[in-house]
Structure 1
Amino acid sequence: MKQMIVNCGVKDTRMVLLDNNKLVEFASEQSSGSGIAGSFYKGKVMNVLPGMQAAFVDIGQKKNAFLYIDDVLHAHLDKQPKVKPSIADLLKPGQEILVQVTKEPYANKGARITTHYSLPGRWIVYMPEADYIAVSKKISTDGERARLRQLGSHLKQGEEGLILRTVAEEENDEAITNDLNMLRQHWQRIRESFSQKSAPAELHRDLGMVERLIRDVFNPLQDQLIIDNQERATSAITFLQTLLPANVDPPVSIHTEKEPIFHAMNIHEQLHRDFQRKVWLQSGGYIVWDQTEAFTVIDVNTGKFTGGVTLEDTVTQTNLQAASEIARLLRLRDTGGIIIIDFIDMDKETNRRSVVEALEIILQRDRTKTHIVGWTRLGLLELTRKKVREEIGGFSYETCTVCQGTGKIASWIKD
């Protein structure tokens, strides 16, 4: 069973997801609702740069959004030209286009946008112009995959694209059909807004954080939602009622005690431990987590652990435990981009494979796609994880005005 714990503050709303009483996700949203990933805009092309095969588009934000040529070509690879054209042949300055934000603006960079539109529902991801059908790879049974693919083929109209999500497994046809029809109505409203509004203009904003996470990770028949704000609880109940049968009550509890919900449920202490630079493992080993602008570096150490029969056994046990913990922390911290893991050197190839498999098992539970590239010649493991929103640390910590985030203070400052 999973528990979703929501703390509603004056400046922001924070949410944690517990899976068997263990933290697996943390999300934070400012009260202003500033996140725009997933939202649709009518934008105006400002600059077209053939040398970069990209364009900058004004969508009404502080910085122009970035549109790469691959996000302008058809979403179906089989329908793309064999020779990639110049972006100058596809877009012109002053042209008005419908775009969707795929990555939040960050630091001095504008948002990343695409013309490969997608609208996620509870059971389906609707792509109005993608022209293909896919079934989640996490649905392992061949019979169920075949059923969902056949249903998708029956429901698909024209150039539509459909992805049957993991939660669609064993779901009845009527519920999936209703979900698709609702998404079609959303798309129609977006198209109508595009024809009525002048660029730049927001046409559709994705759900708020709580509703979005309920839609994506919450099972209303098994899981529990605990929230400390009556108004937000009422909103969550209303949203859950659209996902539940008429005779089932939404599994929502309201925290009314004086002690803050994160303190009362020991969440605050766990977050503090899991977001440290140095995180201890149960065996006595530890990992060190360093973030740079370009990538994340994670170092694994045996620490106090000496329990193996041989050195190889000790090292492998530490690495296996570290692999599971790193996979959990990648999801919890929502770390994106390039990730380098320096596991302790192992002599046996079988042990190296076991470590990668341990990492993969936990990563399968993560909604964000992670790709394990492999081992480098120096024995480092390379990964990439999709980055959509600003790093969680950006919401949770403020950069020190003295050390500027290095963790070190120059000796002359102290004199």
Structure 2
Amino acid sequence: MKKEILISLEVNEKRVAILEDGKLEEFFIERADAYRMFGNIYKGRVKSVVPGIQAAFIDLGTKKDGFLYVADAVESPFDIDSEFDEVDLHQRRHRAKIPSIDEVLKPSQEITVQVVKEPIRDKGPRLTTHIALPARYLVLIPGETKTGISRRIDDLRERSRIRKILSEIDHPEDVGFIVRTAGEGRDKHDFSRDIKYLAKTWKHIKSESGRMQAPSLIHRELDLVERMIRDYLTDDMNRIVVDGRLLYDQVKHFLKIYLPDQDVKVEWHRDGPPLFERYRIEREIEKTFHKKVFLHSGGHIVIEQTEGLVAIDVNTGKFTGENSLEETVYRTNLEAAQEVARQVRLRDMGGIIIIDFIDMSNPDHRRHLYRLFRDAVKRDRAKTNILPMSELGLVEMTRQRIRPSLESAVYGSCPYCEGKGTVKSVTTMAIQTIKEIKKTLNHSKDKVLNVYVHPHVAERLLHEEQKALAEIARSSRGRVIVLADPSLHREDANITFVR
């Protein structure tokens, strides 16, 4: 399988696409004017403690205060799943009773915290007091002495081999480590290089924390390009292609520091069409914002993102199959399962996701579909939890949300409908305007009205509702003048008296 990382910089916007055999599998975007906080470490000050929600608000010196749940202030990453990779289940401690937040933190107290979830809409960033510093193969956990291993490394001999290697490497005594999935098969030299890099970084953070006054930023996470190299550059990655000198120099410099012993192929795309057009993925990127995604078979899936959850509906569409309805539905569901897993990654959807597969009567088909979907989701780097398929054919899952979805990063709410997606119909507004005219005439001695409405509503009032207006004028002994105003919103009506 041919794997490539494409990196483009245009108009203060960095975009990264990960291709597998020419097909877009992952897409990331970062803009210069968008302040990214995930992974940053701050020296903050407790602004308020709220026992009612068992959380504290922390002044970070940013626009929004961060919020810190009591569990994130007292539980170690070895007690719960790591923010980066899941640790060995056998290394979890027995959880003691969590104290109240006002027993842990006091107002004006200084505290070092890390952002584990970006601000989303009106919510500030979510914080933890348990710092986690990721490198290529390891995550350093200050204040710990244990070693955890990603659950995705499931070979017992490999886990034992890794533990033995780490026990032979000198490292600071006041830190622990989590071995990331990429650490599988790595040797002592690879882990030693990561430990050296992480120990140096942690030493600098401690120094900055002692020197800086709260609130202040004491460590900034890597930018998009460097994170992609750290997290996605694997041995089976064929090359990195960039479209500018600045990107080329940045990638080469970071590789020299971070992976000095690896010969990574980096190409600078200079001639011909823009990089993403050259690889024919601009259209694929644009499709990630469409509600309807078509399948090769002729079926399609419909994706609806709401504030509370994401609903995904599977339909056979034009696919009629060859043998039976059950077989047609089964084949559509299998193809949809792979595409749903891909779309969830591409769009970076988080929170609760509900997939409505087409109902199947064959229990073997249902079991196979569930296993296929579960396996397709396994490649997702975000933490996921998938529940068994319900009798209605619904699969419920949750996906770790650490930043706003791709759609919310690119699109804003419609200023016309204010994000609802619909506006009142012309008929509804005509009827509503007539009611307002009646109400206004009944509560005033003045009887001549100018009614300013949207042109479409005015047309309806002057034609289909002409008799109703005439009856109002007759019964009230008044006069109603309807005027079209193109500057008005369809749902607005401005009624004034003519004296």
Return the offset for 1:362.
1.9
Look up the SS of the partner of 1:317 in the other structure. Answer: helix
Residue 22 of structure 1 corresponds to: 23
Residue 187 of structure 1 corresponds to: 202
Instruction: Write out aligned runs for 1:185-224 (5 A).
Output: 185-219=200-234, 222-224=237-239
Go from structure 1 to structure 2 and tell me whether the alpha carbon gap of 1:152 and 1:301 turns closer, same or farther (over 3 Å shift). Answer: same
Specify which of 272, 293, 296 is matched with residue 279 of structure 1.
293
Residue 140 of structure 2 corresponds to: 126
Return the offset for 1:410.
3.0
Percent identity among equivalent residues? Answer: 39
Instruction: Write out aligned runs for 1:339-358 (5 A).
Output: 339-358=353-372
Q: Check the 8 A contact 1:33/1:208 in 2, yes or no.
A: no
Instruction: Write out aligned runs for 1:3-402 (5 A).
Output: 3-32=4-33, 34-75=35-76, 76-77=78-79, 82-155=96-169, 158-219=173-234, 222-244=237-259, 246=261, 249-257=263-271, 259-376=273-390, 378-402=392-416
Given the two structures, how large is their TM-score scaled by the length of structure 1?
Answer: 0.94
Look up the SS of the partner of 1:330 in the other structure. Answer: helix
Query: How many angstroms apart in 2 are the aligned matches of 1:257 and 1:390?
Result: 35
How many residue pairs get aligned? The number is 414
Gaps of 5+ in 1: none
Go from structure 1 to structure 2 and tell me whether the alpha carbon gap of 1:173 and 1:257 turns closer, same or farther (over 3 Å shift). Answer: same
Q: Check the 8 A contact 1:139/1:145 in 2, yes or no.
A: yes
Look up the SS of the partner of 1:101 in the other structure. Answer: strand
Go from structure 1 to structure 2 and tell me whether the alpha carbon gap of 1:88 and 1:39 turns closer, same or farther (over 3 Å shift). Answer: same
Query: How many angstroms apart in 1 are the aligned matches of 2:266 and 2:29?
Result: 20
Look up the SS of the partner of 1:375 in the other structure. Answer: coil
Look up the SS of the partner of 1:374 in the other structure. Answer: coil
Moved more, 294-303 or 215-224: 215-224
Query: How many angstroms apart in 1 are the aligned matches of 2:322 and 2:345?
Result: 29
Moved more, 325-334 or 236-245: 236-245
Query: How many angstroms apart in 2 are the aligned matches of 1:123 and 1:331?
Result: 22
Given the two structures, how large is their TM-score scaled by the length of structure 2?
Answer: 0.79
Look up the SS of the partner of 1:213 in the other structure. Answer: helix
Look up the SS of the partner of 1:72 in the other structure. Answer: helix
Query: How many angstroms apart in 1 are the aligned matches of 2:206 and 2:280?
Result: 46
Residue 495 of structure 2 corresponds to: none
Query: How many angstroms apart in 2 are the aligned matches of 1:221 and 1:349?
Result: 38
Return the offset for 1:74.
3.3
Look up the SS of the partner of 1:366 in the other structure. Answer: coil
Go from structure 1 to structure 2 and tell me whether the alpha carbon gap of 1:378 and 1:220 turns closer, same or farther (over 3 Å shift). Answer: closer
AA matched with 2:12: K
Gaps of 5+ in 2: 80-91, 427-453, 458-499
Look up the SS of the partner of 2:28 in the other structure. Answer: strand
Query: How many angstroms apart in 1 are the aligned matches of 2:211 and 2:172?
Result: 25
Return the offset for 1:355.
1.4
Return the offset for 1:400.
2.3
Q: Check the 8 A contact 2:3/2:236 in 1, yes or no.
A: no
Q: Deviations over 1:106-132 (max 9, x none)?
A: 111100000121000011111112443
CA-based RMSD: 1.9
Look up the SS of the partner of 1:387 in the other structure. Answer: coil
Look up the SS of the partner of 1:232 in the other structure. Answer: helix
AA matched with 2:55: A
Q: Check the 8 A contact 1:220/1:250 in 2, yes or no.
A: no
Return the offset for 1:93.
0.2
Look up the SS of the partner of 2:412 in the other structure. Answer: coil
Return the offset for 1:137.
2.6
Look up the SS of the partner of 1:242 in the other structure. Answer: helix
Go from structure 1 to structure 2 and tell me whether the alpha carbon gap of 1:67 and 1:245 turns closer, same or farther (over 3 Å shift). Answer: closer
Q: Check the 8 A contact 1:220/1:243 in 2, yes or no.
A: no
Query: How many angstroms apart in 2 are the aligned matches of 1:308 and 1:96?
Result: 68
Q: Check the 8 A contact 1:283/1:305 in 2, yes or no.
A: yes
Q: Deviations over 1:358-409 (max 9, x none)?
A: 1122222111111102334543210000001111112222332223334334
Residue 2 of structure 1 corresponds to: 3
Query: How many angstroms apart in 1 are the aligned matches of 2:299 and 2:219?
Result: 48
Query: How many angstroms apart in 2 are the aligned matches of 1:176 and 1:228?
Result: 32
Moved more, 284-293 or 267-276: 267-276
Go from structure 1 to structure 2 and tell me whether the alpha carbon gap of 1:277 and 1:69 turns closer, same or farther (over 3 Å shift). Answer: same
Look up the SS of the partner of 2:52 in the other structure. Answer: coil
Query: How many angstroms apart in 2 are the aligned matches of 1:131 and 1:67?
Result: 24
Return the offset for 1:149.
2.2
Query: How many angstroms apart in 1 are the aligned matches of 2:33 and 2:266?
Result: 24
Query: How many angstroms apart in 1 are the aligned matches of 2:366 and 2:325?
Result: 15
Q: Check the 8 A contact 2:303/2:313 in 1, yes or no.
A: yes
AA matched with 2:398: T
Query: How many angstroms apart in 1 are the aligned matches of 2:9 and 2:235?
Result: 21
Highest Rg: 1 or 2?
2
Query: How many angstroms apart in 1 are the aligned matches of 2:354 and 2:316?
Result: 18
Higher relative contact order (CA closer than 8 Å, sequence separation 6+): 1
Query: How many angstroms apart in 2 are the aligned matches of 1:46 and 1:21?
Result: 50
Look up the SS of the partner of 1:263 in the other structure. Answer: helix
Go from structure 1 to structure 2 and tell me whether the alpha carbon gap of 1:153 and 1:310 turns closer, same or farther (over 3 Å shift). Answer: farther
Q: Check the 8 A contact 1:99/1:113 in 2, yes or no.
A: yes
Go from structure 1 to structure 2 and tell me whether the alpha carbon gap of 1:291 and 1:369 turns closer, same or farther (over 3 Å shift). Answer: same
